[in-house]
């Protein structure tokens, strides 16, 4: 494959991946998830710096979870409940499992260490 063909392939792949309705696309990529987590971490940065300089503690509930990050959490939970281990579970049980997974992902956000870049493994 020549350099031009490779560049064309990358452009086509980027166009495919940017389309949210494309079924070939991964449901959540590690890079996108990490990007959204960084946005979440920095969403209330100025206020948190003021609180820390005054000797207080950070209130993580003031940080904003974007719609995209929430959608990623939902997709992760849905994919996990579609695993073959849960094939014969009733729909109500799967929905309860998804709700519990959302809660755990959201409450676990403050514990994520941003020195690591594998956010997908941490949350799933």
Coil, strand or helix: which one is 95? Answer: helix
Rounded to an integer, what is the distance from CA 37 to the centroid of its chain?
Answer: 7
Using one digit for the tens of pLDDT, what is the confidence trace for 7-26?
887 777 777 666 655 555 56
Using one digit for the tens of pLDDT, what is the confidence trace for 64-116?
888 889 888 888 888 888 888 888 999 999 999 999 999 999 888 888 888 88
Indicate the number of domains in the chain.
1
Determine if residue 55 is left, alpha or beta; phi over 0 gives left, psi from -120 to 50 gives alpha, anything else beta. Answer: left
Determine the structural domain holding residue 41 and report its residue range.
3-123
């Amino acid at each position: 494959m020549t350099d031009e063909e490779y560049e064309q392939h990358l452009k086509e792949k980027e166009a495919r991946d940017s389309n949210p309705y494309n079924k070939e696309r991964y449901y959540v990529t590690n890079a996108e998830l990490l990007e959204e987590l960084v946005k979440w971490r920095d969403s209330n940065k100025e206020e948190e710096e003021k609180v820390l300089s005054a000797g207080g503690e950070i209130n993580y509930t003031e940080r904003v979870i974007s719609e995209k990050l929430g959608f990623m959490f939902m997709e992760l939970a849905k994919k996990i409940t579609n695993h073959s281990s849960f094939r014969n579970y009733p729909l109500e049980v799967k929905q309860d499992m998804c709700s519990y997974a959302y809660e755990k992902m959201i409450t676990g956000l403050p514990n994520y260490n941003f020195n690591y870049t594998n956010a997908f493994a941490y949350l799933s």
